[in-house]
Amino acid sequence: MAEVVVFHHVHGLTPGVLAFADGMRSAGHTVHTPDLFEGRTFDSLQAGAAHADEVGTSEVVARGVRSVEGLPAGLVYAGFSLGVLPAQALAQTRPGARGALLLSACVPVTEFGAAWPAGVPVQVHGMDADPFFAGEGDVDAARALVAAAPDAELFLYPGDRHLFADSSLPDHEPVAAALLLGRVRDLLARLDDAPAG
């Protein structure tokens, strides 16, 4: 079974993020959910984004890195939106990564290194009309990643919701979220069948 770390979005560690983690646990995987906001959650995207700005992007990534210090190397790193930053940074820079799940965001791989690491599968999920994912360049970064890395997949869902996989937020879209979780479980099952690198 895979061991996964899930990093939350700007709303904080919401019940929906925890439910997503439980969706992987129910398939037998070990899932960690670090709290990058130290217990704070936000009802609105704007309030959460303001808090994230106060904390600072580099500190968010640093908190994510610190949260895995006691964990083994062979992890799958997952992130929702803001949480993609520590997930992607760790997948690209911490030796032994087994995979990455980038939900509703993707940054150019050059943010954290010269290229995506060989042999590390990655899935990117987002809605095709999401003003953040599709409108701010994330989908372009995802397409570039897929073009450059043989183990990269991009899944686009119809709609304009940003955090559609979080069941506790108004953006939740149950059909797309269920499809996303199924694809995540498929990747984790493939990792079970592959030797750890």
Q: Residue 183 belongs to a domain with what CATH number?
A: 3.40.50.1820
- Closest alpha carbon to 48 in 58, 60, 34: 60
- Check residue 195 and give its pLDDT: 55
82 part of a folded domain: yes
Token output for 30: 């070990």
Q: Domains in the chain: how many in total?
A: 1
- Check residue 192 and give its pLDDT: 75
Q: Kindly give the residue spans of alpha helices, DSSP state H, lying in 5-56.
A: 15-25, 45-55
Token output for 49: 């984004």
Answer for the pair 102, 84: CB distance below 8 angstroms, yes or no: yes
Task: Flag residues of the chain having pLDDT under 50.
Answer: 196-197
Contacts of 191 (CB under 8 A, 6+ apart): 2, 76, 98, 99, 121
Q: In the chain, how long is the greatest CA-to-CA distance? A: 43
Global confidence as pTM = 0.95
Amino acid 45 reads L
Q: How many Cα atoms within 13 Å fall on the side-chain side of residue 153?
A: 12
d(CA 158, CA 141): 19
133 part of a folded domain: yes
Structural domain harbouring 49: 3-192
- Check residue 197 and give its pLDDT: 46
- Check residue 103 and give its pLDDT: 98
- Check residue 194 and give its pLDDT: 63
95 part of a folded domain: yes
93 part of a folded domain: yes
